[in-house]
Structure 1
Amino acid sequence: VIVGQLGQSLDGRIATASGHSKYINCPAGIEHLHRLRALVDIVVIGVGTALADDSQLTVRRVVGPQPVRAVIDPRGRLGATARMFADDGIRRLLITAEGTCCTPPPGVEIVALPAQEGNIEPSAIVGALARAGMRRILVEGGADTVSRFLAARCLDRLHVTVAPVMLGTGGPGIILPPRERADHAPRMPVRVHKMEGDVLFDCDLTAQRVELGNAKKST
């Protein structure tokens, strides 16, 4: 089960023009994100988000187990002092391109995968994580990473939390290839939940999800 997660403003922005994004969503929206973390085996983010936010990717606002943490970093840009690499007893993964010279902190596992034009295919990432026994995956961000997984049809669900604010010019949310006609865009089942001042769209993408094989079961 692979879930994508994104928090954005009413006008579809995940950050201001300067890159500031804390906090677009209300406390209830942030707690929902931490609940998602507690429910999955692994949380995955892109290197851009890791560099911009220095994310911890831990469960702090709710009670629950800590997930494995992973960053998609094809060129090995993330430094060893990143907080998600902190040695706190939780497994940590660096997903990078084959041939990249990486020097993560001791204990951080390197997952080297083929890359084209500096990008690793989402299906290859999912396959590698499945072989590592990861059955429930949360793709937490940023927008480019979630959009790539969505375009590759590698998500079962997409959670978009919308805050009633408008940021104007800034970082866009989901970015997909253009369509010729609006009426040709596929519609998906969706459930809507009110979370304090925010609205959560829980989108069911199973009908368009590609088959990527089964996760390795623990013995």
Structure 2
Amino acid sequence: MQNVDVSARVWSHLLALKEGANGTPDVTWTEGEAQALALYGPLAAPVDDVMIVAQIGQSLDGRIATESGDAQDISGPEGLAHLHRLRALADAVVVGVKTALHDDPQLTVRLAYGESPARVVIDPKGRLCNSARLLQDTSTRRIVVQSCETDRPAGVETLILPRTDWICAHEMIMALRELGFRRILIEGGGVTIAQFLEAGLLHRLHVAVAPLLIGSGPQSLTTNPVPTLAEALRPETRFYNLGSDVLFDCALNPHIAGEKERVFNV
């Protein structure tokens, strides 16, 4: 398995693709650079409607944190750089309120060259405090998806969407599309990603596996069980060596429009 080589010329080409450039530079790519283009090229290519990508980092035994909630060092340095590249290629990055409350993430691009995407948090009950870092940093758009009226800092946009116990996943994607977002990254946590997956909304799922064993703690993705292996989801998958992590790039068949059959429970 060849290492992915995101060289300066590869990354410049990918950022140009995101901005609408046509064609490929007349250069000879190394094998590692070709691997990088195969991995990131589909995410930077022109988007007709919306493209939704989810990324999760986990251990060999499928955990995303310890029982105490320590998740800071799950991904190795190249795995973290990969996540920041995904942010740089996205128009908006989405997290659930549990992740926002526990991790207080910045959701900015720091380990790759590029602009930080808009930050979106799914917070149906208005639990996220206004001092959260993703709301305080004014360098990009900040959006809270909620089902109640909650005062937010100046400049923070709110999407008020109805719910019974949950917010409909399809309605949220439609609302984000109306705001002009075309490339959407679902970054966490595992429950939020799983609900996007079960809603049939994901184009790609990236699972970065780090070489460590935790033994217990939250599972990576917890989806509705299937009675037989024949009914299990088996996406077309490619494997990439990031260096510190092995990446599973899973291609899925989303249905963005149509029946609103799944909802967010966060």
The residue number in structure 2 matching 1:107 is 155
CA RMSD of aligned residues (A): 1.1
Alpha-carbon offset, residue 39 of structure 1: 0.3
The residue number in structure 1 matching 2:76 is 26
Superposition pairs of residues 1-219 of structure 1, within 5 angstroms: 1-97=51-147, 100-117=148-165, 119-206=166-253, 209-212=254-257
Structure 2, unpaired ranges of 5+ = 1-50, 259-266
Greater helix share, 1 or 2? 2
Alpha-carbon offset, residue 203 of structure 1: 0.2
- Deviations 1:156-215 (Å, cap 9, x if unpaired)? 000000111111110111111111101221321111001113110000002xx11328xx
Residue 102 of structure 1 aligns with an amino acid whose one-letter code is T
Residue 151 of structure 1 aligns with an amino acid whose one-letter code is E
- Deviations 1:34-79 (Å, cap 9, x if unpaired)? 0000001000000000011100000011100110001000000000
Greater strand share, 1 or 2? 1
Contact 1:85 1:108 in 2 (8 A): yes
- Cα distance in 1 for partners of 2:55, 2:128 equals 22
Contact 1:157 1:205 in 2 (8 A): yes
The residue number in structure 2 matching 1:216 is none
**Identity percentage over the alignment?**
48
Contact 2:170 2:256 in 1 (8 A): no
The residue number in structure 2 matching 1:217 is none
Which fold has the larger relative contact order, with Cα–Cα distance below 8 Å and residues 6 or more apart in sequence? 1
Counterpart of 1:32 in 2: which secondary structure?
helix
**Structure 1: 4+ residue segments shifted above 4 A:** none
So what's the TM-score if we normalise by structure 2?
0.76
Counterpart of 1:14 in 2: which secondary structure?
coil
Structure 1, unpaired ranges of 5+ = 214-219
Alpha-carbon offset, residue 121 of structure 1: 1.7
